[in-house]
Amino acid sequence: MTRTVMIDPVTRIEGHAKISIHLDDAGKVADARFHVTEFRGFEKFCVGRSFWEMPGITARICGICPVSHLMASAKAGDAILGVQIPPTAEKLRRMMNWGQIIQSHALSFFHLSSPDLIMGMDSDPAQRNIMGLIQQDPELARKGIRLRQFGQEVIRTLGGKSIHPAWTVPGGVREPLTAEKREKIATMLPERFDLIETALDLVYNAHETFANEIGNYGDFPSLFAGLVGPDGELEHYNGLLRVVNSEGKRVEDGIAPEKYREIIGEAVEPWSYLKFPYYKPLGYANGAGMYRVGPLARLNVCDFAGTRRANRALHEFRRLMKLDKPVSGTFYYHYARLIEILFCLEKIEDTIQDPDILNTHVRSQANVNKLVGIGVSEAPRGTLYHEYHIDEHGIIKEANLIIATGQNNLAMNKTVRQIAEAYVDGNNLTEGMLNRVEHGIRMYDPCLSCSTHAVGQMPMHVQLLSPDGEVLDEKIRG
């Protein structure tokens, strides 16, 4: 008999989800699906607009990482213009992108995930959120908010506002950095280095507390993909595509990002609006081409970080590798996020000392020179692709956007299944299982509104289904 249990509205992912768990005749988990039930259609309604407007329009896909869309979109615009942007513009864009990664990762770790880590997966859902965290550990909550604030301030200082700044444009950026603004960023930095140390301590503790969970929380072999710099360093803005397999072998390296279609395919399933990108050479069937992107993938594909403290942290991180294989536990996304924050702080510290950073030549002028533009950058959640096909006057004829969360779709499904296998008990959904599934999804920090270009809200909705499709148990949150 179907039973619906309402739980307090606690979701803490960007967007909402439905999960179905299918049981076999023996009552064991046969399949688990992570359904994204929202749709927005940006790829369609960009058609007919000018490519000059694309950064401004596509930034509206998301209020959390508008900067990532600004970067990929402006880079696609640069490609259409066929220009090299001024070196200072590139440095400034990188700086905003680092600010973006800091604020988004801090949001994911402190505001969304740390309540699970601090209070435990089985604690009262009504309390297990940022408000509960403020009550229980106000100092920690304050630190999280301060760290995120820095990222937002960098974006605001450069772009005029922290959400949807229209500052990154085809050809460069709209405003140079002033000495006064540079000073403002510099004075905020030291405190943030202290904050990240606190966060790292927290994650080390979590690794001990959740030692049992780590192995069940999406720990499986997969491919990892991301951009790396020319020397193999950690890279978020430019670079070349690299894919490593579960053995640590590079299966793709030095791929120019505009050739992404040669290695990445996109599949669709009738039960989700979120597409299923896969690694083409291995095919889509049975999840063979599943790859992961984002902080964990970036740390797995790069050779080194490229800054002093992040290099050391990465070295430490790589102690988690077994037999030189990539770190495969999804739980370590949290850890990877913090290392990236440290990296971004160091990069900003270095960049603002660059004597060229105040140069006022920050925008290249040109008109349409190419009819296709592809822009690729690393968003907080992984590699982001924008591809525009235009007519000779610059009006978009076709747009293709591949969002980081989509690329983790196969892995998220697999994670849900793994957690369900470990925690589904008989024909009932337990609180503990539900909490763990939710955290399993949250580890990827999925942005469902981005990845489906979604609108509206759907609650997290978990169904336990018998082999003949009967709903054995059902829980709804939100």
Beta carbon nearer to another protein, 54 or 117: 54
* Residue 107 beta carbon to another protein: minimum distance, rounded to whole angstroms: 22
* Residue 174 beta carbon to another protein: minimum distance, rounded to whole angstroms: 7
Distant-in-sequence, close-in-space partners of 458: CB < 8 Å, separation ≥ 6: 16, 17, 18, 37, 38, 478
User: Where do contacts with another protein occur on this chain (CB under 8 A)?
Assistant: 48-50, 52-53, 55-57, 60, 164, 166, 169-170, 174, 365, 367, 393-395
Contact 341, 144 (CB under 8 A): no
Beta carbon nearer to another protein, 60 or 207: 60
| Three-class secondary structure of residue 420 per DSSP | helix
- Closest Cα to residue 30, out of 290, 420, 291, 410? 420
* Residue 47 beta carbon to another protein: minimum distance, rounded to whole angstroms: 11
Beta carbon nearer to another protein, 6 or 47: 47
* Residue 447 beta carbon to another protein: minimum distance, rounded to whole angstroms: 19
* Residue 236 beta carbon to another protein: minimum distance, rounded to whole angstroms: 23
* Residue 171 beta carbon to another protein: minimum distance, rounded to whole angstroms: 8
Contact 221, 248 (CB under 8 A): no
Q: Where would I find the beta strands (DSSP E) of 97-234? A: 168-169, 172-173, 223-228
* Residue 393 beta carbon to another protein: minimum distance, rounded to whole angstroms: 4
Sign of the C-alpha dihedral, residues 10, 11, 17, 19?
negative
Gap between the Cα atoms of 214 and 181, Å rounded: 43
Beta carbon nearer to another protein, 212 or 367: 367
Distant-in-sequence, close-in-space partners of 73: CB < 8 Å, separation ≥ 6: 54, 55, 58, 59, 168, 375, 386
Beta carbon nearer to another protein, 363 or 461: 363
Phi, psi (deg, nearest 5) at residue 460: -75, 130
DSSP state of 108: I
* Residue 66 beta carbon to another protein: minimum distance, rounded to whole angstroms: 11
* Residue 46 beta carbon to another protein: minimum distance, rounded to whole angstroms: 10
Beta carbon nearer to another protein, 170 or 295: 170
- Closest Cα to residue 109, out of 295, 387, 256, 365? 295
Beta carbon nearer to another protein, 57 or 251: 57
Beta carbon nearer to another protein, 80 or 121: 80
Distant-in-sequence, close-in-space partners of 355: CB < 8 Å, separation ≥ 6: none
Q: What is the DSSP string of 373-405?
A: EEEEEEETTEEEEEEEEE-TTSBEEEEEEE-HH
Residue 454: which region, alpha, beta or left (left: phi > 0; alpha: psi -120 to 50)?
beta
* Residue 55 beta carbon to another protein: minimum distance, rounded to whole angstroms: 7
Beta carbon nearer to another protein, 165 or 440: 165
Gap between the Cα atoms of 81 and 59, Å rounded: 20
Beta carbon nearer to another protein, 47 or 321: 47
Gap between the Cα atoms of 139 and 143, Å rounded: 6
Q: What is the DSSP string of 254-276?
A: EE-GGGGGGTEEEEEETTEEEEE
Gap between the Cα atoms of 9 and 454, Å rounded: 19
Structure tokens at 185: 């960023």
Rg of the Cα trace of the chain?
A: 22
Beta carbon nearer to another protein, 286 or 365: 365
* Residue 395 beta carbon to another protein: minimum distance, rounded to whole angstroms: 6
